Structure 1
Amino acid sequence: MRSPNQTWWLLAFLAGAAFLSRLVAIQDPDIPWHLLHARFVLEQRSTTYADFVSFTVPGRIYHNQPWLGELILLGFYQLSGSAGLVLYTSLAAVGGVLATHRLASLTSHRAPWLTLLVTALVAGATNWRLEPRPMALFPILLAVAMYIAARFADPWGSASGTLIPNHPAGTRPNDRRTATRWAAAAILLFIAWAQIHGSYVLFPAILGIAVVGKAPSLGTQRTAWRLLLPALFGVYCLFQSEHVALVSRVALGDATNHIAEMRPLQLSQLIPTYLNSVLCLDALLIVAVVRSIRARRVRASDLAYAVLGFALALTAHRFRAAWAVLLVPWASRAYASELFAARHALPEPAWLRRLAATLAIATIPVIVVGMIDRNPERTFSVDFNRDIYPADTTDLLKAHRVEGNLFNVYDDGGYLSFSLYPKVRIAIDGRTPTVFDDELYFLIRSTPNSEAAFDGFAETYKPDMALIPSSAPMCARLAKRPDWRPVYFDHLRTLFFRTPFRADLHTISTINACDPLTSIEDTCRSPAQESVLRLGAELNRLLQLAPDAPAIHIARARFERMCAHDAQRARAFADAALDSGTRRASAYFEAALARAAAQDLEAALEAADLAVYLGGGPHAAHLHALLLKDTGDLFRARDELLALEKSAKDDMPTSARVDLAEILLKTGDPTLARLQAQRAYWISRDTRAKMLLTELGVAPSTPSQPL
C-alpha cells in the first residue's frame, strides 16, 4: 500500500541540506542598500521619498517598490545582525523545499516517491541562487502562486487528478463563494509579491496559464468570469507609471530590457560538465518529458509553464531557479495510470522508489557543497564577507571621520552607503535603472578603465574621493597624477583622495598602492638602504592608520621576510592577517612563506594547502609542492607538479618547471626530467635549467634543435 510517511525522513534531510547550504558568508552587493532603504521607509513613513544617498542624483524621488521585503529583511537583521540575515535565507530555503514538496504532492495526487524526486531536483536547481535579499522568498511565493492559480482556475479539482480536494462524493462547496475566496487569495498574493521585490507580470501570467490551460471551453460563463481577473491584472500593469514598469522588468519574473541586468543563459550552459544546479534542472526536464511520452499526454498549462520558464532562463541566467519551480506540475503530473494506482492504493514501482531515494541523497551534497565549490573564499559563516565588501575602507573612513563624495564602482555602492551614510555620499549602487539610469551606469562602469571617462566624471560631479579596483588601469594612472593621491589599499581596491582633500592623512609614496606586494619585493631587492627604510616607515604609518586591516599586515609580513629578514616577525604579521578572518588566497600564501621561513614546515604546509584550495593558482600549487619536497615527500611533490604542468601547460611558472625536473631526477625519471628542463630553458633561458641540463650531460638546445 502507498504510505506517504515513508519519504519524510528523506524530505527532512533535503530541508536540512537546504538550511545548511545557506550558512555562508554574506557577499551579495545589493543586501546592504536594501537594509538602508528599509530604514528610510520607517523614518519617512512612506515608500516614496527623496533620495540623498548619492551625490550624482541628489534628491531624486525614489519609489521603493520592494519595501515589504526590505522590512522583513531588516527585521531579521535587527534580530541578530548578519546572523539574522543568514537565518532568513536558510528559512527561505527550507520553506522553498517544503512549498515545492506540497505543490508536487498535490499535482502528483499522493505519489510520495515521485513527489520526493521532483522536490529534490528543484531544491538542487534553486538553492544556489538564494541570498538574503527580498527575493529570497521567491521559491515559496512561486509555488504558492501556482497552487492558488490552479485552485482559482478550478476550485473543485478535476478527474485528471490535479489538486483534487477531499470532498465527500456528491458534495461541493458553493460555486460563487469558493471562486471568490480563491480570487481574493490571488489578489492578496499579487499585492504582497509585488512589494517583496517580485514581479507585476509573472503572477498574472501564471494565473492566465492556469485558467486557459484548464478551461474545457472558453465560451462558458464560468471560464469567461475567471479570465477577467488576469485580464484586469494585465491592464493594471500596462497603465503603471514608468518606475513601476522598470522595477517589474528587473525584478524576478520578467524578461528584462535593462542592459545592466542582461546576463543571458546560453543553450550550451544547459549541458552540465559537473554536479551543479544545471544538472538538477536537466534531470527535471528529462523526468517531465519521459513521463509525458510514456503517458502519451501533456497538458497545455504544463507546457506553457515550461515555455515561460525557458524564456525567463534565456533572458537572464538567474531565472533558471524560477524555471525549475515552473516545471513542477509537468514533472509530477498524475496521469491515468498513476490515478488508477492511487485509487486502488497500489505501491509505486520499485525502480521509482530506488531512483527517487538515490537522487534525493545525491542532491544533498550538490546543495550543501555546490555553493562553497563555486566560491571557496566564502566558506560557512554567518558574517559579512569582508574580503568582498569594502569593509576595511569603510572602517578607515569612519575611524578618521572622513566626510565627502566618494566615487565607487557599481558593486561597492550598497555597502558603502549602508556603512557611511550620511557622512559619505556615493556615486552609484544597485538601484538601476530605478534611480541610476543606463547613461550614468555605463559612464561609471567605464571610468576605472578610461582616463577620459574618469576625467569627465570628475569634472561633472567633482568627487572628493575615489575607490578604484587595484587591477584597473585607472588605478596606476591616478597614482602618478598630482591632483589625486593614494592613501590606503586593501586586497582589491585602492583609495584615492583628491588633492588637497584631507591633507592630514598620509600619502602613500614609497609603495605602489595598486600593486603593493610586488613593489615591496622590488624595493627589498634594491641595494639602496634608504628606500628600504622609507618603505618600513610607510608601512608603520599604514598600520597606525588601519591597525586591523589584513592587507596591511600581509604587506608588513612580506617586508619583514624579504627586507628585514626577520622570519618570526613576518610570521606574526601574517598570522595577524589570518586572525582577522580573511579568506584571501594571497593571505594564506604569504602566511605559508612566513611560516616556512620560520622553519615551521607543518604549519606552512597547512597554510599552502588552504591557499591552493582558495584559488591561489599555479604559484600556490608550486609552493605546496616545494613544501612537500622539504618534508621529504618527493613523490607527492612530483605528482602535484605534474598535475600543475598538465593544467597550466605553457603558463606554468618556469621555476616550478625546473623544480619538477629536479624532483623527477631524484625520483628516478631522468628522461622526463631532461624534457622539463629543456622546456624551461626554451621558455626563459633559465640558469637553473641550463645547469640541470649540463648535469644530465645534455647541451642546452633551442626550439630549432628538437630533442
Structure 2
Amino acid sequence: MTEKSTSELQKKLLIFSVFISTSSFLIHEIYSLDVWWQIAIGKDILKTLSIPTTDRYTVAALGNLYHDSHWLFQVIIAAFHHLAGMLGAQFFMVAIWAITLYTCYRSIRQHMTVEISALFVFLVGLSSIERFLPRPEIITFLMIALFYQRLSKHNYKDGKALTIMALLQIIWTNCHGLFVIGPFMAGTYWLSDIIGHFSGKKTNLKKTSLLLAVLILASLITPYGIGAWKYAYLLYTEVGGSASHLMKSVGELAPTFSNKSFSEPLFYPFLIILAGTILSSLKLLFQKKLSLPRAIITISLFMAALTGRRNIVLFVIVAAPFIAENIKALMPEVKLKSPLTTNLIGLLILLVSIYPLSGLYYVKNDIPARSGLGSSPSYYPYSLPDFLRKINFQGNIYNSNIMGGFYLLHSYPERRPLTDGRWEIYNDRILKSILIAPTQPYLMQG
C-alpha cells in the first residue's frame, strides 16, 4: 500500500469516526414536547387548507390572536408523520441536520484540508447536540449555513443565484421567526460595500443592494406580511434581560454561561470554538485583513448565543468556517502531518459515541429517551387517548402543560387540551395561575 493511499484511508477513517459519533447523538428517540402540537396543527392546516390567525387548539387561549410563524414547517413535518409516523418526523429532522452540517463542512473545506474540516464539523455537532430536535429552529440553522456559504462565495450576483436566495428566504420566513437573520446577513455585505464605495474601492454595491432588497421583499411573502417582522420582535423579547420571569424559567432559555452549562462536558466544544474565534481574529484585526461582513455576522450571532443556551447553534455554524478562513490567512499550510496523530484523534472521536449509545448522556441530563428510532416509549401516555374514547369521556382535559401537544394530536377536534407549549399566545396572568394551580388548592375550587 502506498503512502498516498494510506493517507487517503486515514482521512476516510477520520471522517467515518466523525460521522458515527455525530450520528450517535443525532439519532435518538423523539422526546420533544413541541413536536406533537407542531404535527397536529400541520395536519389541521392540510385538512382545512387554512392557516390559523386565532387560536382554535387550546381551551386557555381559545380565540386569542395566534401568529403561526411555523406553518410551513408544520405542514412539512405533518406530511412526513402521515407517511411514517414519528419515524417520518425523525427522518425529516435528521435529514435537515445532515444537510446543515454538510453545508458547514463545505464552507470550512474552502479553507482547510479534509481532515481538519471534519474536526471542525465535529466540534459544531457537539456544540449543537441540545438542539438535535424536530423543531422549526432547524430550518433557521440550515438557512444560516446556506446563506453563509453562498454569501462568502459571492453566489448571488446572477439572476439564478438571486432567485435561489429569494426562494430560500421565503421558505425561512414561513418556517421560523428568526428569518430576519437572512436579510441581516446580506446587509453586512451591503454595509461593507457602502464603506468600500465611499473609500474609493471597487465593490459589488449594486449587486448587494439588489440582494438586500430582494430578501426583504421575500420576507414579506407570508400570510402575515409585515406582521412576520413584528412576531420576530416578540421572539426577541422572550430571551435575554427583557424576557418575562416565566420565559426565563424555561431550561433552553437559561443563561448560556451558567453553572449547569459548565457542568456539562458537551458545553466545552462551544468554548473551544469561541476561543478559536477570538484568537484567530485578533492578529488579522490588527493587520486589517479580517473580513468585515463575516466578522459582523459572527460577532452578532455570538451576541445572540448569549441570550440563551438554545441559541449557541446560531453562533457555532458561522464561527467554524470563519475560524477556518482566519487560520488559512495566518497559516496557509495547516494539516495533520503525523499518521499516528490522525489515527489517535479518529479513535478518540469514535469513543465519544459511547456517551450517548450507553445511555449515560441521557441519564446524566435527565432526558427521557435513548439512542433509537421513533418516539420515546416511556414518556408519553400512549394508551390514554384510546382509554378516553373507550369510556366515552366528555369534555376537555386539565392537562399538564408539557403534555398538551400530545393530547392535541390525539384528541383534536373532539376535545382540546387546556394548554400546550405555545406560551406566547396565552395571557401571562392566566398561564401563570394555571401552571401553579396544582400546588394551590384554592385555585382548584369553584
Which band: TM-score by shorter chain? 0.7 to 0.9
CA distance in 2, matches of 1:414, 1:330: 39
Equivalent residues of 1:73, 1:133 under 8 A apart: no
The change in CA–CA distance for 1:83 and 1:205 in structure 2 (over 3 A counts) is same
* Superposed CA offset, 1:528-566 (max 9, x none): xxxxxxxxxxxxxxxxxxxxxxxxxxxxxxxxxxxxxxx
Aligned residues: 424
Q: Give, in angstroms, the shift of residue 282 of structure 1.
A: 0.9
CA distance in 1, matches of 2:144, 2:237: 10
Match of 1:425 in 2: 416
Match of 1:438 in 2: 428
- Given residue 48 of structure 2, which amino acid in structure 1 is its aligned partner? Q
**Same amino acid, percent of matched pairs:** 17
The answer to which of 246-255 and 308-317 deviates more is: 246-255
Q: Which has the larger radius of gyration?
A: 1
CA distance in 1, matches of 2:225, 2:354: 44
Match of 1:382 in 2: 373
Match of 2:299 in 1: 307
Equivalent residues of 1:31, 1:414 under 8 A apart: yes
Q: Does 1:35 align with 2:55?
A: no
Q: Does 1:404 align with 2:395?
A: yes
The change in CA–CA distance for 1:198 and 1:61 in structure 2 (over 3 A counts) is closer
CA distance in 2, matches of 1:443, 1:387: 29
Match of 2:318 in 1: 326
Q: Give, in angstroms, the shift of residue 280 of structure 1.
A: 0.9
Equivalent residues of 2:69, 2:174 under 8 A apart: yes
Match of 1:67 in 2: 71
The change in CA–CA distance for 1:337 and 1:58 in structure 2 (over 3 A counts) is closer
The change in CA–CA distance for 1:258 and 1:149 in structure 2 (over 3 A counts) is farther
- After TM superposition, the score normalised by the length of structure 2 is 0.80
The change in CA–CA distance for 1:148 and 1:69 in structure 2 (over 3 A counts) is same
CA distance in 2, matches of 1:84, 1:19: 17
Equivalent residues of 1:99, 1:139 under 8 A apart: no
Match of 1:223 among 205, 230, 235: 205
Equivalent residues of 2:107, 2:149 under 8 A apart: yes
In structure 2, the residue corresponding to 1:267 is in which secondary structure?
Answer: coil
Q: Give, in angstroms, the shift of residue 452 of structure 1.
A: 4.3
CA distance in 2, matches of 1:60, 1:392: 31
Match of 2:176 in 1: 197
- Given residue 441 of structure 2, which amino acid in structure 1 is its aligned partner? E
Q: Does 1:9 align with 2:2?
A: no
CA distance in 1, matches of 2:192, 2:350: 34
Match of 2:231 in 1: 246
Q: Does 1:265 align with 2:286?
A: no
CA distance in 2, matches of 1:38, 1:427: 19
* Superposed CA offset, 1:117-162 (max 9, x none): 21110011113311122333443322112112323xx34xxxxxxx
Q: Give, in angstroms, the shift of residue 26 of structure 1.
A: 2.0
CA distance in 1, matches of 2:203, 2:282: 34
Match of 1:44 among 22, 44, 48: 48
CA distance in 2, matches of 1:196, 1:396: 35
- Summarize the alignment of residues 452-471 of structure 1 with structure 2, pairs less than 5 Å apart: 452-455=442-445
The answer to which of 405-414 and 7-16 deviates more is: 7-16
Equivalent residues of 2:29, 2:376 under 8 A apart: yes
Match of 2:440 among 450, 464, 467: 450
Q: Give, in angstroms, the shift of residue 32 of structure 1.
A: 0.8
Match of 1:336 in 2: 329
Match of 2:92 in 1: 88
In structure 1, the residue corresponding to 2:196 is in which secondary structure?
Answer: coil
- Summarize the alignment of residues 96-245 of structure 1 with structure 2, pairs less than 5 Å apart: 96-106=100-110, 108=111, 110-151=112-153, 154-155=154-155, 178-213=157-192, 217-219=196-198, 222-223=204-205, 225-227=207-209, 229-230=211-212, 241-242=226-227, 245=230
Q: Give, in angstroms, the shift of residue 402 of structure 1.
A: 0.8
- Given residue 332 of structure 1, which amino acid in structure 2 is its aligned partner? A
Match of 1:283 in 2: 272
In structure 2, the residue corresponding to 1:424 is in which secondary structure?
Answer: coil
Match of 1:316 in 2: 308
Match of 2:22 in 1: 18
* Superposed CA offset, 1:650-679 (max 9, x none): xxxxxxxxxxxxxxxxxxxxxxxxxxxxxx
Q: Give, in angstroms, the shift of residue 326 of structure 1.
A: 2.3
Q: Give, in angstroms, the shift of residue 30 of structure 1.
A: 0.8
Equivalent residues of 1:139, 1:322 under 8 A apart: yes
- Given residue 19 of structure 2, which amino acid in structure 1 is its aligned partner? A
In structure 1, the residue corresponding to 2:397 is in which secondary structure?
Answer: strand
Equivalent residues of 2:169, 2:182 under 8 A apart: yes
The gaps in structure 1 that reach 5 residues or longer are 156-176, 460-707
In structure 1, the residue corresponding to 2:50 is in which secondary structure?
Answer: coil
CA distance in 1, matches of 2:344, 2:158: 39
Q: Give, in angstroms, the shift of residue 256 of structure 1.
A: 9.4
The change in CA–CA distance for 1:264 and 1:12 in structure 2 (over 3 A counts) is same
- Given residue 142 of structure 1, which amino acid in structure 2 is its aligned partner? I
The change in CA–CA distance for 1:274 and 1:225 in structure 2 (over 3 A counts) is closer
CA distance in 1, matches of 2:300, 2:149: 17
Q: Give, in angstroms, the shift of residue 31 of structure 1.
A: 0.8
- Given residue 276 of structure 2, which amino acid in structure 1 is its aligned partner? V
Q: Which structure shows the higher strand fraction?
A: 1
The answer to which of 283-292 and 5-14 deviates more is: 5-14
- After TM superposition, the score normalised by the length of structure 1 is 0.53
- Given residue 272 of structure 2, which amino acid in structure 1 is its aligned partner? A
